[in-house]
Amino acid sequence: MTSKFARFFTPAVFALSVAVLAQTSPLPAAPSAAASEAAAPVATNATGTKMGTINVEQAIFATNEGQRDFEALSKKLEPKQTELKGVNDEVEALKKQLNTQGDKLNEESRATLVKQIEQKQKSLERQVQDARDDAQNQQNEIAQRILQKMGPMLVKYAADNGFGVIIDTSNPWPNGPVLWAGPAVDITKSVVDLYNSQSGVAAPTRPAAARPATGTKPATTPAAPKPQTQTPPK
């Protein structure tokens, strides 16, 4: 039987809290998984009976390669984040103008300002969605590349260490099948250490205090601005 290890990541790379998006399709706050094909080789000599767990998502993010590549992606996306914040600030400035001066404008001027706000807000919504999709696709590419190399290592590690079953705990219960599992059966750190030893990628050079603990997902997004939630008066 062929073992398949597949994760499809959709973390919120762009957490720009645009009011209209918050009302319609809020950005995901955490990675989620969906089906994908990334087959790992069969461990034909597997005769173990032990049961272990691994958080595949955390393992991918915790590798030296994952930390390096996701940090690079975060820096790459910063200009777009800044651009979106600038557009959002323009929309909020127009809303403020409407709220403070709307009753002093004639009907035509007020209608023009309201239309301008609506057009800019819709454009911003499209830009945020496009940026989020692009960022998620780039994160998926990184995660899948690492996973394809990690899968065979995980199978071999399980076979070499007497494991008969390895369960992924990336999705906590009730979204995942594992109600509870103790740390004694978690092999996430061992697999990460094995991956790092074979990948040849050095550990990040960030200060130790800023380095995430093994098995935890490092941040890949800049801090998000929090725009006002005012809406144009009718």
- pLDDT of the residue at 25: 32
Q: Is 121 helix (H, G, I), strand (E, B) or coil?
A: helix
3-state helix, strand, coil in the chain (%, to 5): 55, 5, 40
- pLDDT of the residue at 93: 95
For residue 222, is pLDDT > 60?
A: no
| Reported confidence tier of residue 23, pLDDT bands at 50, 70, 90 | very low
For residue 217, is pLDDT > 60?
A: no
For residue 201, is pLDDT > 60?
A: yes
Instruction: Give the max Cα distance, the chain.
Output: 82
Cα dihedral 181/184/187/189 (nearest 10): 110
Instruction: Give the start-to-end residue ranges of the domains of the chain.
Output: 19-210
DSSP state string for 162-194: TEEEEEE-SS-TTTSS-S---GGGB-HHHHHHH
pLDDT in tens, 2-19: 333 333 333 333 333 223
How many of the other CB atoms lie within 10 Å of CB of 187?
A: 20
Average pLDDT, the chain: 77
Radius of gyration of the chain (CA): 23
